[in-house]
Structure 1
Amino acid sequence: MSGTSIAPAAPPGTSSSLVSARGRPPDDRPVFGPASQPSSKVICLGRDYPDGGIVGPHCHARAQLIYAMAGVMEIRAAGSLWIVPPQRALWVSAGVEHAMRARGAVSLRTFYVADHAVPADLPNVPTGLAVTPLLRELILRAIRDGRADDRGGRQGRLFDVLLDEVAALPRCPFCLAMPDDPRLRRVCDAILARPGDRRDMAAFARDAGASPRTLARLAERELMVPFSVWRQQARVLAALPMLVGGGSVAETAAALGYETPSAFAAMFRRIIGAAPAAYRTQGADPAAAFGRAVPTRKASRSG
């Protein structure tokens, strides 16, 4: 990742290797919403990040739901790269290291959940979720009306409803498996940096110091899909920040190296399960942009 390093919006118990651009340790104060006591079952925080802003690898003592009202987040966690548009959120269990890069200006609205309050239905691995209009409003209200103590009363009931809604959200992972082998990693990073690059596998293999056959074998083993499939997934996921940022389908298709907008739209729908136009509006109906899962590596892996 490259960009501006920024301290994470973090509750008590955050562990981070990040040092800010001025050399200070991370600032754990919330930027939006009142601070909550460590005893609170839910801590709601918000923060705005500029385009290219980076939160370095860190983890939390609490589980976290990461959601952006605007902008697209690129999150690395558990051996995968997650692309999270405003219609999605990422659930990250306590203790799982993750890092974030803002693709466009990001308005982060997030909350951290104490162990005893985590819904039993949620997995202990990073999980993509389709955000409903109800959940979006609950998050915004919880941040706006936060209290120092949620052990009873209206705020406590709000948190109960919020957690119930999270547990019921459809799973919808928008992620790419990332390899460990340095040769394949070099190729994957090059494709992510320039998703419109039309070079064939032989050209990438030469740059990586490996044969095309070796790369193909590594892809099957480490990415769990053929190299060509992973590359198409990468190109389609790279389209999300462009579309959310207001780019047209034609502009996005050209930037990603597709011959025609219709070819891009067909591949987008095949992989995502929804039309590209569903992501061009920040407030698009999450149900319309639900889509299908992108294959990932072993879910038990932690980063």
Structure 2
Amino acid sequence: MYGKSENRDDYQHVPRPLAAMARDLPDGHHIPAHHHRRAQLIYGTTGAITVVTDHGVWVVPATRGVWVPAGLTHAMTCAGPVAMRTLYIEPQSAWRLPEIPTVVSVSPLLRELIDEATRLPAEYEREGREGKVVELLLLELAPLPVPALHLPAPADAQLDELCAAIQQEPGDRWATADAAAYAHMSPRSLQRRFTAATGMSLARWVQQARLIRAVTLLAKGTPVTVIATGLGYATPSAFTAMFNRTLGTTPSAYFADREPGPSAGRFTAA
């Protein structure tokens, strides 16, 4: 696209601190687990992207991106058509940015800078306008908290199986007693171990799993009524109330001209 390579390997050794690639991906496109020598900002202007690492799972819509540190293994899956606009940054140029997977809210300014960077030659002119665009883009990637749709991975083999089951069928009953029976442990032991392993209560983790499923389905154009039923809600209004309470907007408005909040363009540790 834009006369540039769509092969990520071609951007790992260019003699510039930042390289940007544009690539349009279809619904359901999966990029298997891989890693690269440069840090990466994964961002799509449409649809939603699920990013999986050993640290957990993130789902980001078009106003969010995921920062992946250099050398970290990760996989990606698209929900809905995704216009991916990704940055590859030399580790030395990203020294002040997080060393763990992190979510960034993409402000209108950052969005335009990313788009412009994808149109620059891989070996852009360091002096003049092209170099200034990249300098400003790097400055916009400053760490401050923003909300994130994130499922932290438990460092516990017994809980790994439970978490995989919840992610597979988030609409099933996953009250503490149900989850404890699945994991073959007492409810009290489950609650204690789950919070210690993930930093979240079981109830919150299940809710996050349902929200992540909802966002990926919304990106595909699935009706809210179908999503609500599939996630186990008695009525669409009950699902909408939970969604609005947690994410600050209704499901139908989530992908419609959403404006980032005051922390736009800033990072939060996942």
> TM-score interval w.r.t. the shorter chain?
0.7 to 0.9
Equivalent pair of 2:48/2:219 in contact (CA under 8 Å):
yes
Q: Deviations over 1:207-241 (max 9, x none)?
A: 43334333222212112222112111211222112
Which of 82, 104, 129 is matched with 2:58 structurally?
A: 82
Task: Give the number of the structure whose residues are more often helix, by fraction.
Answer: 2
Is residue 193 of structure 2 the alignment partner of residue 218 of structure 1?
Answer: yes
State the distance in 2 between where 1:65 and 1:221 align. Answer: 29
Is residue 260 of structure 2 the alignment partner of residue 286 of structure 1?
Answer: yes
Which of 96, 107, 115 is matched with 2:83 structurally?
A: 107
Equivalent pair of 1:119/1:164 in contact (CA under 8 Å):
no
Name the amino acid aligned to 1:123.
Answer: P
State the distance in 1 between where 2:144 and 2:108 align. Answer: 11
Q: Which residue of 2 aligns with 1:135?
A: 110
Q: Which residue of 1 aligns with 2:45?
A: 69
Regions of 4+ moved over 4 Å: none
Q: 1:175 to 1:150 in 2, by over 3 A?
A: farther
Which of 8, 13, 16 is matched with 1:40 structurally?
A: 16
Is residue 268 of structure 2 the alignment partner of residue 268 of structure 1?
Answer: no
Q: CA deviation at 1:169?
A: 6.9
Q: Under a length normalisation based on structure 2, what TM-score does the superposition of the two structures give?
A: 0.84
Name the amino acid aligned to 1:246.
Answer: G
Which of 133, 152, 166 is matched with 2:127 structurally?
A: 152
Q: CA deviation at 1:200?
A: 3.9
State the distance in 1 between where 2:87 and 2:175 align. Answer: 43
Q: CA deviation at 1:289?
A: 11
Is residue 26 of structure 2 the alignment partner of residue 50 of structure 1?
Answer: yes
Consecutive unaligned residues in structure 2, runs of 5 or more: 1-5
State the identity %.
39
238-247 vs 86-95, which moves further: 238-247
Name the amino acid aligned to 2:231.
Answer: L
State the distance in 1 between where 2:37 and 2:193 align. Answer: 35
Q: Deviations over 1:13-39 (max 9, x none)?
A: xxxxxxxxxxxxxxx35xxxxx69621
Q: CA deviation at 1:184?
A: 1.6
Q: 1:237 to 1:173 in 2, by over 3 A?
A: same
Q: Which residue of 1 aligns with 2:70?
A: 94
Equivalent pair of 1:250/1:261 in contact (CA under 8 Å):
yes
Q: Under a length normalisation based on structure 1, what TM-score does the superposition of the two structures give?
A: 0.76
Q: 1:42 to 1:61 in 2, by over 3 A?
A: same
Equivalent pair of 1:63/1:115 in contact (CA under 8 Å):
yes
CA RMSD of aligned residues (A): 2.9
Q: CA deviation at 1:170?
A: 5.5
Q: 1:287 to 1:277 in 2, by over 3 A?
A: farther
Consecutive unaligned residues in structure 1, runs of 5 or more: 1-8, 12-27, 30-34
Q: CA deviation at 1:123?
A: 1.9
